[in-house]
Structure 1
Amino acid sequence: MPTAHENTPAPDRAQEAAASQPWPSVGVVVPTRDRPELLRRALAAVEAQTYPGALEVVVVHDGAPLDTSLVRHGPRPVRVVSNERTPGLAGARNTGIMSLGTDLVAFCDDDDHWMPDKLTTQVRRALAPDRPEMVTCSITVDYDGRRNVRRAGRAEVTHAELTRSIMTMLHSSCMLFDRTALVERIGLVEEDLPGSQNEDWDLKLRASRRRPIAHVDEPLTVVDWGRPSHYAREWDTKISSWEWMLAHHPEIARDRRGAARVHGQLAFAEAARGHRRDALRWAGRALRSNPLQWRAALALAVVCGLSPDRVLDVLHRFGRGV
């Protein structure tokens, strides 16, 4: 368990609180599209959870036929449904959320998988006296077999911290919510975001605006950054999503470090798709806000001829992204 924050119950108190009451039911939403082998690995990891409470899974097929062979009955049922909302990851997640009636809801992408104690550890934190609406954990990034642990180094994450950084280790496959809080107060996953990109950052910002996000700083989720990812290099969509984030979360632009980060990302994306003038414009804005913004420097290197794919491959080997 993480080191206790002054406003966070100590681990032994959280464990005592969990032991004194029934374990809440948990529903797991797994959106998928044409990755059957990875999906089965994710489902096997959910099935292997040590969690003693009721656990069910809903697999949401997005733009693909239902695979009814995944259906399971018994104490840990698996259902399969089609995305009934906006096509894409956000609509698929929301379809799953709304099909569940569990106390808690967790996300797991089809190319990621959990460590056996993931849910038990997070639910203990969720049952602590402060009853957080959202609990995350840290990750291990797997890039073509090379693994790197990414930790947050804290027991809670504030809104101010998330305006200046997406905090990648608070990955969507780590998210656990009080379902009522998610649906009625935080709000569902944003379906208007271009390509469902940055939907996790938007959700974290909205959740942390209400209350700090409780965090278990253990790498309880393995995130696959392998080359089969649907989203790794979709530059046009990434640019639209970053511009959407700046427009809908003005606090990012007001934070010099946050603005510099997004401007540096925009510069790199523009350079990667060969738009030299736009790349230079965004890089200049990033460096004026923060002269140490390394994404802007990488964008300038790409403008000068460095391969963006080579840059991404090197970053991913160390569990990092642009």
Structure 2
Amino acid sequence: MSESAVAPESPAATTKPAPTVSVVVPTRDRPELLRRAVTAILGQRYDGPIECVVVFDQSDPAEVDVTTATTATTGGDRTLRYLRNDRTPGLAGARNTGILAATGELVAFCDDDDEWLPGKLSAQVELLARHPETPLVSAGIIVSYGDRDIPRLAPDRPLGRADFLRDRIMEVHPSTVLVRRAVLLDRIGLVDEDIPGGYGEDYEFLLRAADAGGIRAVHQPLVRVLWHARSFFFDRWKMIISALDYLLEKHPDFRTEPVGIARIEAQLAFAHAGLGDMPSARRCAARAFRHNWREQRLYAALLASTHLVKVDTIVKLAHRAGRGI
């Protein structure tokens, strides 16, 4: 008998098939960026099937000019679906429309102006397989702002609710999220559609995900995140104040974490400064100082409240450093 006849069974015959991943891509009026995002999703070097669900918010679905064929370099089947957001207008409703329509065992998010790097899914699915107790995994990002690319690495350790109360951990960006769909629906819950303006919906979702079993991250940048000179939320200060107040009311345990509550109070101070309400800005900054005088945002808010530096100048300087306010 030949040696090949008695060789052990091949790994392909014994290995469980790679799970189907449904990728939810909310979009609104950015066709060229959307095409780039969808191309990167369908071109992933991943052996399993990928279902890309593009959800058009406040507009009718339109086809994206990309190929969905399986190739030797990408791996499993690729399908592309188009839906219209039939829930609350905005990002949260669009994400939920896609989540509820998804058929995959795993659900991923990708914003229409972000771009996955080729090995993103494979690395994350492998991490999930190594940690069956973990419902959600993330990865590092590359922040692209103007002519600068700033890598931001996610922490290389399990992250729990206390971590997210203390810090937003912006490296755990929504476009890096890969979550077990069953846990999402049963224990985490859909994205909150009641947050004013949808501001911070991703952060609020992560607080609940961290509480439902924790979050892990691949310790390398796997998503390119585009920061615009003027974001969708820039200068919508009243809405931002309402959203931050909503977050504190929904999650009162922020008040048990001085560093975390100081961060939110400093953000409120900055938003009041952006609105031109300098007395309120200083009051919020004072509360932030009492909780954590090391919180840098409170000094940015105080600087803005003096009129010596414009609010948008401070935001632009922070973005050039790969940081947000």
TM-score clears 0.5: yes
Q: Deviations over 1:60-79 (max 9, x none)?
A: 00011211345866531111
The one of 119, 122, 137 equivalent to 1:120 is: 122
Residue 228 (structure 2) pairs with residue 206 (structure 1): no
Partner of 2:241: 239
Question: Any unmatched runs of 5+ in structure 2?
Answer: 1-10, 70-76
Whole-angstrom CA distance in 2 between matches of 1:69 and 1:42:
10
Residue 63 (structure 2) pairs with residue 61 (structure 1): no
The one of 32, 36, 47 equivalent to 1:52 is: 47
Partner of 1:283: 285
Partner of 1:30: 25
* Equivalent position amino acid for 1:37 in 2: E
Whole-angstrom CA distance in 1 between matches of 2:298 and 2:258:
14
The verdict on how the C-alpha distance between 1:285 and 1:34 changes in structure 2, with shifts beyond 3 A counting, is same
Give, in angstroms, the shift of residue 281 of structure 1. Answer: 0.9
Counterpart contact for 2:155–2:217, Cα < 8 Å: no
Question: Any unmatched runs of 5+ in structure 1?
Answer: 1-15
Q: Deviations over 1:22-77 (max 9, x none)?
A: 10000000000001111111011112200110001011000112113458665311
The verdict on how the C-alpha distance between 1:294 and 1:242 changes in structure 2, with shifts beyond 3 A counting, is same
State the structure with bigger RCO (CA 8 A, min sep 6), 1 or 2. 1
Partner of 1:315: 318
Q: Deviations over 1:211-253 (max 9, x none)?
A: 1211111110111112253223322221111111100111112
SS for the counterpart of 1:291 is: coil
The verdict on how the C-alpha distance between 1:124 and 1:259 changes in structure 2, with shifts beyond 3 A counting, is same
Partner of 1:218: 220
The verdict on how the C-alpha distance between 1:58 and 1:228 changes in structure 2, with shifts beyond 3 A counting, is farther
The verdict on how the C-alpha distance between 1:129 and 1:245 changes in structure 2, with shifts beyond 3 A counting, is closer
SS for the counterpart of 2:233 is: coil
Whole-angstrom CA distance in 2 between matches of 1:176 and 1:62:
22
Whole-angstrom CA distance in 2 between matches of 1:94 and 1:106:
12
Counterpart contact for 1:143–1:224, Cα < 8 Å: yes
Pick which of 257-266 and 199-208 moved more. 199-208
Whole-angstrom CA distance in 1 between matches of 2:67 and 2:270:
45
Partner of 2:164: 162
Give, in angstroms, the shift of residue 129 of structure 1. Answer: 4.7
The one of 35, 38, 42 equivalent to 1:43 is: 38
Give, in angstroms, the shift of residue 153 of structure 1. Answer: 3.1
Pick which of 154-163 and 65-74 moved more. 65-74
Counterpart contact for 1:155–1:216, Cα < 8 Å: no
Residue 136 (structure 2) pairs with residue 141 (structure 1): no
SS for the counterpart of 2:231 is: coil
Q: Percent identity?
A: 41
The verdict on how the C-alpha distance between 1:69 and 1:162 changes in structure 2, with shifts beyond 3 A counting, is closer
Whole-angstrom CA distance in 2 between matches of 1:129 and 1:304:
50
Q: State which structure, 1 or 2, has the greater radius of gyration over its C-alpha atoms.
A: 2
* Equivalent position amino acid for 2:89 in 1: P
SS for the counterpart of 1:68 is: coil
Counterpart contact for 2:137–2:215, Cα < 8 Å: yes
Residue 75 (structure 2) pairs with residue 80 (structure 1): no
Instruction: Give the structure-1-normalised TM-score.
Output: 0.91
Give, in angstroms, the shift of residue 185 of structure 1. Answer: 1.4
Partner of 2:268: 266
Supply the RMSD in Å over aligned alpha carbons. Answer: 1.6
* Equivalent position amino acid for 1:221 in 2: V
Q: Deviations over 1:57-105 (max 9, x none)?
A: 0110001121134586653111111001111100000000111111000
Partner of 1:181: 183
The verdict on how the C-alpha distance between 1:36 and 1:54 changes in structure 2, with shifts beyond 3 A counting, is same
Partner of 2:72: none
Give, in angstroms, the shift of residue 266 of structure 1. Answer: 0.3
Whole-angstrom CA distance in 2 between matches of 1:240 and 1:145:
33
* Equivalent position amino acid for 1:304 in 2: T
Whole-angstrom CA distance in 2 between matches of 1:230 and 1:198:
12
Whole-angstrom CA distance in 1 between matches of 2:81 and 2:158:
33
Give, in angstroms, the shift of residue 199 of structure 1. Answer: 0.9
Number of residue pairs matched?
305
Give, in angstroms, the shift of residue 155 of structure 1. Answer: 2.6
Whole-angstrom CA distance in 1 between matches of 2:115 and 2:227:
12
The verdict on how the C-alpha distance between 1:37 and 1:254 changes in structure 2, with shifts beyond 3 A counting, is same
- Runs (4+) of structure 1 moved beyond 6 Å? none
* Equivalent position amino acid for 1:47 in 2: L
